[in-house]
Structure formats: C-alpha cells, structure tokens
Structure 1
Amino acid sequence: MIVLNYSHPITPAQQEQIVALVGQAIEQVIDIPSQIDQQQPLAPQIVAMADAAGLSAQQWQSEAILINLPALNFSAAALLAELHGRMGYFPPVLRIRPVAGFMPPRYEVAEILNLQVLRDEARTRRSQ
C-alpha cells in the first residue's frame, strides 16, 4: 500500500497501527507539502499537490492508496475531488486523534475511513 501524507509526519507507531487496521504492508509513505498560498486560486495548487505524489495514471487507478488529508478543510475537500477524478472512486483516509493524557500531545490512528463505502451507503438514503 502507498500512503500519501499531506499532513504531519506519520510516526513508526502510527504506521504499525495502519498496518494492523488495513492488514496490508506499507510499501511507501510519500510526504507531500500541503501549504497553500491563500492569495492564489486553490484549484491549481491542489492539482500540484496531487501531481507531487509522482504516480502514473495506472498507479492512481490500480494501486492500494491511503490518504492522510491536509488539515485545512477546503484543501482537503478539493484534494478529495481531484483524487476521485484520478482514481475513479473516493480513497480511504486516515483519521488521527490525540491520545488522552499525554503532554506533549501524542497522536494515534483512530480509524481508516472508507469514503467510497460511506458514499455508496449514502446513495441508499437519496429517496428517503
């Protein structure tokens, strides 16, 4: 599996948690800066973030890819739209949370959100 990391570095402990949750080895973690220039249009910056992964069209559509989204909400939303276009489905994403009682703060992988399953299940509620 390839992990595209658009956020804080993923620690070795978090990588172990990911492997345990997914049941698949991590082949590569690609750290990609997600800072944007708020004075410039967002869309081209998001395309550049996706391009920075260095994946081919075939890889986007056939590799097991997990995303650690940028923290900035509109960057995350736009990146999901871009990745859906490249992949043909919504990618699974990490949800990372603080571990209670640690100072300085420590973070763990809470779960893997399968966005495609969430989307597919939501479609069943369209006619309700």
Structure 2
Amino acid sequence: MNITIDQQGNSKVAIIESDGIVINNAQDALDLMASVRYSDDADKLIIDKSNITEEFFELKTKLAGEILQKYVNYHVKLAIVGDFEGHNSKSLRDFIYECNNGKHVFFLKNKDEALQKLHNIS
C-alpha cells in the first residue's frame, strides 16, 4: 500500500493506492483512518473501490454502514472512486446518491473529481 498526500492550503487529502484489498472489514477501515490521521495529519481520504472488499457494496452485510458511520463519527471525509454503474442494486444506487448529497462520504468517478470535492469541503 502506498499513501501520498495532496495538499492545497490547509487541506490535506491522503490518496491510498494498492494492488489489492486494503479494507476487508471495519477494523481495517479504522486502522487506515488512524494511520493516515496520525501519521500524515490528514482527515480526508481517497481510495479506489477495487481496494475495498466487494461485501462493502452489498448493503445487506451492513459493512458499508458500519465503516462509514465510524468515519463520520471521527470527522474523516472519504471519497471512494471507481465505476459504480456495474452495481445493479437499487438500494446501493440510492445509498450512493444520498452519500454524494451529504458532507462526509462520496462515490466519484476518478481521483481528480475526488480531490476537487474533498479540498473544497470543510
């Protein structure tokens, strides 16, 4: 796993890159958040959807809700980037829509969109 920091003014965004799954469960998500927050002093993260277990996108597992609630509780912003069109679940599409209209978690097409969104949100 490689973590790079993109900084614009006082806004720091940690960009997580990996060839494999980084988040398999809620503890992995917490560990990643803590590592980035304390090592790199960043409270905004970007991660590719390919680095998150597929169970996250099956809402009935409740993994997405558990992870995202922790990020909201700790005031950490998260952007998940990738192509979400392949998911046929109406509930997932609704979930993504609601997240994208909020202030904490975003599902975006690419890193550039994610950087723009996260740097412009407080």
With normalisation by structure 1, the TM-score equals 0.36
Higher helix proportion:
2
- Please tell me whether Structure 1 or Structure 2 has the larger radius of gyration of its CA atoms: 1
TM-score, structure 2 normalization: 0.38
